[in-house]
Amino acid sequence: MYLDAETSGGARDDPAPGDGRQHLVVVGNGMAGCRAVEEIIARDSSRYRITIFGAEPRVNYNRIMLSPLLAGEKSFDEIVINDAAWYQDNGIDLISGDPVLEIDRANKLVMSRSGRAVAYDKLLIATGSDPFIIPVPGRNLPGVVTFRDLDDVDAMLRAADQGGHAVVIGGGLLGLEAAHGLALRGMQVTVLHLMSNLMERQLDEAAAWLLKTELEKRGQTILTSADTAEIMGEDKVEGVRLKDGREIPCSLVVMAVGIRPNTALATDAGLEVGRGIQVDDHMVTSDPAILAVGECVEHRGQVYGLVAPLWEMCRALADGLTGAPSGYSGSVTSTKLKVSGIDVFSAGDFSGGADCEDVVLRDAARGIYKRVVLRDNRLIGAVLYGDIQDGSWYFDLLRSAEDVESVREMLIFGQAFALGGGQSDPNAAVAALSDTAEICGCNGVWKGTITYAIREGADTLDKVRATTKASASCGSCTGQVECLLKLTLGADYDGERTVKTVCKCTSFGHDHVRREIVAQGMTSIPEVMQKLHWTTPDGCSSCRPALNYYLLCALPGEYIDDQQSRFVNERMHANIQKDGTYSVVPRMWGGITNPRELRAIADVVDKFKAPMVKVTGGQRLDIFGIKKEDLPAVWADLNAAGMVSGHAYGKSLRTVKTCVGSEWCRFGTQDSTGLGVQIEQMTWGSWMPHKFKIAVSGCPRNCAEATIKDFGIICVDSGYELHVGGNGGIKVRVTDLLCKVETEAQAMDVCAAFIQLYREQAFYLERTAPWIERVGLEYVKTALLDDPETVPTLAAKFRYSQTFMQDDPWAKRAAGEDAHLHQHLAEVRPFALETVA
Amino acid sequence: MIGDWLDIGSVDQVAPGNARTLPVHGGDEIAIFRTLAGNFHALVNKCPHKQGPLSQGIVHGSIVTCPLHNWNISLLTGEALGEDKGCVPVIPLKIDAGRILIARDAVVPKKAA
């Protein structure tokens, strides 16, 4: 029997009263409700008389297939699970388009919107979930839709017919599927995602980057860390405004930020409800006559939003209702994205950790990233991008918690490799290859070529790279080359490297990484890690800051600095001290100050009770003992007196130290203070491989100690001697004379050019002194001075990069940027038993 | 706020790769970490080496590197990794409905309650 609200009204309450069987009433004609009924009928088709209420005016369809429906890959008929005939054949009464509004538990009745009152013996609540609507102004405007049911899809298709721009809020599974469908339907799509990684609950940083890159390649605009402030428009949607002020014009907004269990009916009926309707292992609620199943329930503290757990719940429910209780014990879930041509899989826990081992396989050429996480020889998580063929195998291993020690070496290569033909030893697999087998795909190097080179004396990885180019580009065959070294040299191979790698995450040294970043035009940290086959998912505290600097240096004005890849001092724009407080050094150009600055500093010391002020070696004043919470206020006060950040905390230009020079000193030959101020104004704010100090002395007596600075100027009667590579640190190094120039302008140009050469060529955390020791003074002289065009070219590059850098970071923080870095999350006052946010 | 867990804020308040602090009056400050993979952990905000504020370190994987002397501390166990030896207390933490909850026992002295 098929009834709907319009035709049957409220005239008849119970469609087929009293045939002696127990009456099972199901609230919810969705996937869970119908599956539960199917499972019950499969076990015992005559046990219950069944009535299903559905809020939507249609038969049961496969909600998961709404994405392919939107994308035009499926029609509605194809996504119907149970057509009208199924209800008929199984004697089920379907009351569609008439939602149940109330449960009368005392009289065991449900009341519908049209006024029906239907008695039940057993009631099953399968109301699913509702899309979460973020509470921003404009959320009720026409043109704002969710992505939950067929009506939503219809609304999106109508909008797509008009073309134009759509904004999808939410870069999770559902949002990306909606965006994909709308893009296929011809709309210009922008995805806004609050977090920094797409699908952050399912993907790690590396896989999220690959996904974002692919979607962008397809023409979608993906904005991460995008926080929606309001949906704009008078009487329909006209655009979205973000909290950072950006505005995106659009005619459609799809809200896909998440779902909430639909528990209203159960709450009103007084059932126990947490995040979902609470059920036991047999899906029974706090009322023994009422059961619940699907996304609306909370089982052992878990709420599920995927389909697989739903099937498992329905089985347990049907077992219980047909007298053979089995029990549901929770689900382990896996995720796949339904966007054609993009393969993404994730399962389990991939947060990593000390007792876990990550095995990572990257193939930049094919856009593949595979990561499995092991703990005690058991697989506990997997993230796959680009090749998800082994997803189900990993998922099985994960659920069975099988010991994988025997296949561990080959696990990452997949089931076929790991279980196929006894080649479980990677050395044996490489040994079995023929001499004409290609080992290095980037440079087309055969196995035979490599073994020949090894026999000829290339007995380390670096020598093989140098002589054959094998594994010298992306590095993905490094493991195989090392196997060949082991096989060819036997015990003589000790794995020694002449090139020091950046860190344990890569087989490449700094030089190689820097060169490839520029050569391949890489633009982000995850991209470098993918293309150079990093062996860890998100790097470590050594490589992240290095990569961040290399990108910043290569792409002035384009690369967005990654704060999470900076050491604390550069993130907090102050120097951390042993007690966790900070010291603050305002900039004093050339070491010159005035009463206004000194008063401001004195006031800050009083106001924030700084325990000490000290004159530094670089001729500045250092205010100690400032708490991180107070830093923005301190900076605001110093800014008000005209002072900016002194960058005493950075791998950057620190100070330009000067003597008083010809303006006051009876020995002075040039205006050393004036030149020092000009140089500091040119160089402040620049990021470098390491800290960088400059000094200008007005005569060879060298009161500014210019000959132990990274760049030192000694003024003489006839001009300026320019010295480089000095260091006053652990190992004192006196500068080398680079050249002599006649004018201030020339001195400044050479200074800028030298800094730029150092910025582009030194390794991260390499001061100028060890850099010059490594490459040789002659190299630096030749590189800078042989061609008269070099100095102006490099100086211009430096000055261009500086146009993006000379922006006082203190002023931004004082104005409220990144306030979360300075504020506590909350406070705990145990004796008051409360938290104060 | 009665119960075994203390609600200290929303998950949105800690960005991935970041940490926030939670001073405890009469007790040790707590650091709440969020890894790049999105998981939350809480430790006493003191490196076992020289009591450096771990909240200010770089977070990578499930490890934080202390800002003072680069000790690597596991966010899961609180133990120093590699050659270094030492351990900092882990504060039990869970996420429920987008809220960060920490174990009440860890911050509230039993006698005082």
Closest approach of B105 to chain A, Cα-based (Å): 10
- Could you give the residue ranges of the DSSP H alpha helices within A584-671? 595-607, 631-640
A799 or A457, which is more confident?
A: A799
Distance from CA of A403 to the nearest CA of B (A): 23
- Cβ pair A576:B53 closer than 8 A: yes
| pLDDT tier for residue A188 given thresholds of 50, 70 and 90 | very high
**Whether the Cβ atoms of residue A722 and residue A706 lie closer than 8 Å to each other:** no
Residue A428: predicted pLDDT? 74
In the block, which residue shows the tokens 């791998």? A651
Q: Which two tokens stand for residue A610?
A: 């700084």
* Contact: A828, B1; criterion CB under 8 Å: no
Rounded to whole angstroms, the Cα distance separating A313 from A293 reads 7
pLDDT at B38: 83
Please give the pLDDT value at position A500.
Answer: 85
The nearest CA of chain A is from the CA of B9 a distance in Å of 7
**In this structure, are strands A277-279 and A297-299 parallel, antiparallel, or unpaired?**
parallel
For residue B5, give how far its alpha carbon lies from the nearest alpha carbon of chain A (Å): 11
Q: Which of A351, A353, A576 sits opposite B56 (nearest CB)?
A: A576
The partner residue sitting opposite B59, judged by closest CB among A564, A569, A829, is A564
Which DSSP category does A196 fall into?
S
Q: Is A827 an 8 Å CB contact of chain B?
A: yes
Paired tokens of B45: 């905000």
Rounded to the nearest angstrom, the minimum Cα separation between B7 and chain A is 8
Q: Is B20–A820 a contact, with Cβ atoms under 8 angstroms apart?
A: yes
φ/ψ bin of A471: left (φ > 0), alpha (ψ from -120 to 50), beta (otherwise): left
Chain B contacts in chain A segment 341-360 (CB below 8 A):
350-356, 358
Contact between B37 and A355 using a beta-carbon 8 Å cutoff: no
Chain A nearest-CA distance from B108, in A, is: 5
Which two three-digit tokens encode residue A468? 């054959």
Q: What pLDDT does A558 receive?
A: 92
Distance CA B87, CA A714 (A): 52
Q: How far is Cα A312 from Cα A37, in angstroms, rounded to an integer?
A: 13
User: What does the pLDDT read at residue A426?
Assistant: 65
A499: nearest Cα among A518, A523, A483, A515: A515
Query: Coil, helix or strand for A620?
Result: coil
Average of per-residue pLDDT values in chain A = 89
Contact B89, B105 (CB under 8 A): no
Instruction: Find the CB nearest A537 among B39, B51, B61.
Output: B61
**Tokens representing A50?**
């069944």
Taking 90 as the threshold, does the pLDDT of residue A673 lie above it? yes
DSSP codes joined into one string, A136-186: -TTTTSTTEEESSSHHHHHHHHHHHHH-SEEEEE--SHHHHHHHHHHHHTT
Indicate whether A800 pLDDT > 70. Answer: yes
Q: What is the pLDDT of residue A436?
A: 81
pLDDT at A363: 82
Among residues A258, A266, A269, the alpha carbon closest in space to that of A283 is found at A266
* pLDDT over 90 at A406, yes or no: no
C-alpha A43/C-alpha A217 separation (Å) is: 50
For residue B85, the tally of other CB atoms under 10 A from its CB is 11
Q: In chain A, which residue's Cα lies nearest the Cα of B112?
A: A831
Mutate to test the interface with A, among B25, B36, B55, B63 (most CBs of A within 10 A): B36
Looking at every residue in chain B, the average pLDDT score rounds to 88
The SS3 call for residue A190 is strand
Does the distance separating the beta carbons of B67 and A567 come in below 8 Å? yes
Decide: A529 and A539 in contact? Cβ < 8 Å: yes
Say whether pLDDT at A504 is over 90.
no
Q: Give A622-671 pLDDT, tens digit per residue.
A: 999 999 999 999 999 999 999 999 999 999 999 999 999 999 999 999 99
Residue A354: what pLDDT? 67
Check if the beta carbon of residue A167 is closer than 8 Å to that of residue A75: no
- Nearest-CA distance B53 → chain A (Å): 6
A–B interface: beta-carbon pairs under 8 A: 159
Assess contact for A623 and A613: CB atoms under 8 A.
yes
pLDDT over threshold 50, residue A11: no
A829 to chain B: nearest residue by CA?
A: B25
Question: Of all residues in chain A, what percent carry a pLDDT higher than 90?
Answer: 60
Q: Which of B50, B58, B96 sits opposite A544 (nearest CB)?
A: B58
Tell me which residue of A546, A432, A529, A535 sits closest to A484, measured CA to CA. A432
Contact (CB<8Å) A537/B37: yes
pLDDT above 50 for A352? yes
Lowest mean pLDDT among A130-139, A619-628, A735-744: A130-139
Name the residue among A195, A351, A569 with its Cβ closest to that of B39. A351
Q: Which residue has the tokens 């030089």?
A: A511
Q: What is the mean pLDDT of residues A253-265?
A: 92
Amino acid at A750: V
Strand partners, A658: A696
How far apart are alpha carbons A16 and A435 in whole angstroms? 79
Q: Which of A2-16, A82-96, A717-731, A749-763 has the highest mean pLDDT?
A: A749-763
* B58, B77, B90: best to mutate for the A interface, most A CBs within 10 A: B58
**Higher pLDDT residue, A729 or B44?**
B44
d(CA B47, CA A370): 34
Asked if A826 lies within 8 A of B9 by C-beta distance, the reply is yes
Q: Which of A673, A697, A702 shows the shortest CA–CA distance to A593?
A: A673
3-state percent helix, strand, coil for chain A, nearest multiple of 5: 35, 25, 40
Q: Which of residues 215-274 of A touch B (CB under 8 A)?
A: 225
Which residues from chain B sit within 8 angstroms of residue A831, using beta carbons?
25-26, 112
Per residue in A695-728, pLDDT tens?
999 999 999 999 999 999 999 999 999 999 999 9
DSSP type of residue A64: G
Nearest to A835 among B6, B17, B52 (CB): B6
What DSSP designation does A74 have? S
CB contact, 8 Å: A540 with chain B?
yes
Distances, alpha carbon A180 to alpha carbons A72, A185, A464, in Å: 11, 9, 45
Between A15-24, A38-47, A402-411, B21-30, the lowest mean confidence (pLDDT) is in A15-24
Interface contact flag, B52 A580, Cβ < 8 Å: yes
Task: Please compute the mean of the pLDDT values over residues A740-745 and round it to a whole number.
Answer: 96
Average pLDDT score over residue span A4-26: 62
User: B89 CA to chain A: closest CA distance, Å?
Assistant: 15
Q: How does residue A14 score in pLDDT terms, banded at 50, 70 and 90?
A: low
- Residue identified by tokens 């800014």 is A639
- Classify the C-alpha dihedral A235-A241-A243-A245 as positive or negative: negative
Q: Residue A25's closest CA among A46, A53, A55?
A: A53
Chain B residues with beta carbon closer than 8 angstroms to that of A195: 16, 38
**Residue A120 pLDDT:** 95
A830/B107 Cβ within 8 A: yes
Query: What one-character-per-residue DSSP string does A273-306 give?
Result: BSSSEEE-TTSB-SSTTEEE-STTEEETTB---S
**Mutate: best of A505, A825, A833, A835, partner B, most B CBs <10 A:** A825
Q: How far apart are the C-alpha atoms of A265 and A112, rounded to whole Å?
A: 11
- pLDDT for position A706: 96
Q: What is the pLDDT of residues A416-442, one digit of tens each?
A: 777 664 445 667 778 877 888 878 877
Whether pLDDT at A474 is above 70 = yes
Residue A18 predicted with pLDDT over 70? no
**Low-confidence spans in chain B with pLDDT less than 50:** 1-2, 111-113
- Range 272-301 of A in CB contact (< 8 A) with B: 275
Selection from A383, A28, A61, A451 nearest residue A211 by Cα = A383
Nearest chain A Cα distance for residue B30, angstroms: 10
**Which residues from B are below 8 Å from A538, CB to CB?**
36-37, 60-61
Give the model's pLDDT for residue A608: 96
Among B12, B35, B58, select the one facing A541 at the smallest CB separation: B58
Q: Which of B1, B70, B76 sits opposite A353 (nearest CB)?
A: B76
Alpha-carbon distance B88 to nearest alpha carbon in chain A (angstroms):
14
Please give the C-alpha separations between residue A642 and each of A593, A601, A639, B77, in angstroms, as whole numbers: 11, 11, 5, 47
At A835, list the tokens. Answer: 């938290």
- For residue B91, the 8-state DSSP code is P
Place A1 in a pLDDT band, splitting at 50, 70 and 90: very low
**Cα dihedral across residues A405, A408, A414, A415: positive or negative:** negative
Query: Taking Cα atoms as reference points, which of A52, A57, A50 lies closest to residue A23?
Result: A50
Going by C-beta distance under 8 Å and a sequence separation of 6 or more, which residues neighbour residue A574? A582, A583, A584, A626, A631, A649
Q: How far is CA A225 from the centre of its chain?
A: 9
Cβ atoms of residues A790 and A783 within 8 Å:
yes
The single residue listed with the structure tokens 């659920």 is: A399
A208-212, A403-407, A409-413, B81-85 — which one is most confidently predicted on average? A208-212
DSSP 8-state secondary structure symbol assigned to residue A798: H
Tell me which residue of A44, A48, A50 sits closest to A14, measured CA to CA: A50
pLDDT, average across residues A267-291? 94
